[in-house]
Each structure stands twice: as C-alpha cells, then as structure tokens.
Amino acid sequence: MNNITTSLGQTAELHCKVSGNPPPTIRWFKNDAPVVQEPRRISFRATNYGSRLRIRNLDTTDTGYFQCVATNGKKVVSTTGVLFVKFEVVGPSSHRKSRILVLAHP
C-alpha cells in the first residue's frame, strides 16, 4: 500500500484489491484497531476488485497506519500504508481525492 499525504477537509480513498478462491473477507484497521464507520464520513464497502475505504472531510486525527486484511479460510494476507493529514486548509475549488491502492492476493 502506498503512503499518502493530504490536507484537512479532503477525501481519502483506500482501495484493497484482492482475489481468491473462496473469495476473501476484507477487514480494515487503523493503528491496529478496527475501522468504525461513521455516517456520511467514514465508510467501507465491497467492490468488484475487493474493498474500498473512504474517509471524507479529513481531520488531523485521521492520520495513522491503515491496514487491509483479507482472509478466505485458506490464507490471510495484509498490507499497510500511512495516511498523513496536514494541518492545511484547501479551498473547495481544489477539492480532490487522495488514494491508497492495496494489492493483496490470498
């Protein structure tokens, strides 16, 4: 997983690309604790390629180590990246998404 640096108020998307037979179950962690979804701010969902974690309206407290763990009963794989949120306000005209791509194959 790549490390990313972004600014307050931005949106970060972390993508976990996994495949396996049987299909894996994916869990997200921040600093070794399970990521807790927050309505309209922190969400994760299954995708055709694995899973996506999205964090909107980033705050400096969102800075941390993010880990994607994929398990399918036969194998467990994981990867970790760092999200660093700078204390720098970016105007709405320059809103952009930061992305972390995860490649894991159980």
Distance of CA 41 to the CA centre of its chain: 13
Q: Domain spanning 4-103 has what CATH number? A: 2.60.40.10
**Every domain of the chain and the residues it spans:** 4-103
pLDDT on residue 31: 97
Asked if residue 7 lies in contact with residue 78, where contact means CB atoms within 8 angstroms, the answer is: no
- What residues does 39 pair with on adjacent strands? none
* 90-to-80, 87, 95 alpha-carbon distances in Å: 27, 10, 7
Give the predicted TM-score (pTM) of the model. 0.81
Using alpha carbons only, give the angle 27, 25, 30 rounded to the nearest 5 degrees.
5
pLDDT on residue 98: 52
Q: What is the pLDDT along the chain (106 residues), one digit of tens a residue?
A: 678 899 999 999 998 989 999 999 999 999 999 999 999 999 999 999 899 999 999 999 999 999 999 999 999 999 898 999 998 765 554 445 555 554 544 4
- What residues does 53 pair with on adjacent strands? 14, 44
Tokens for 24, please give them: 């894996």
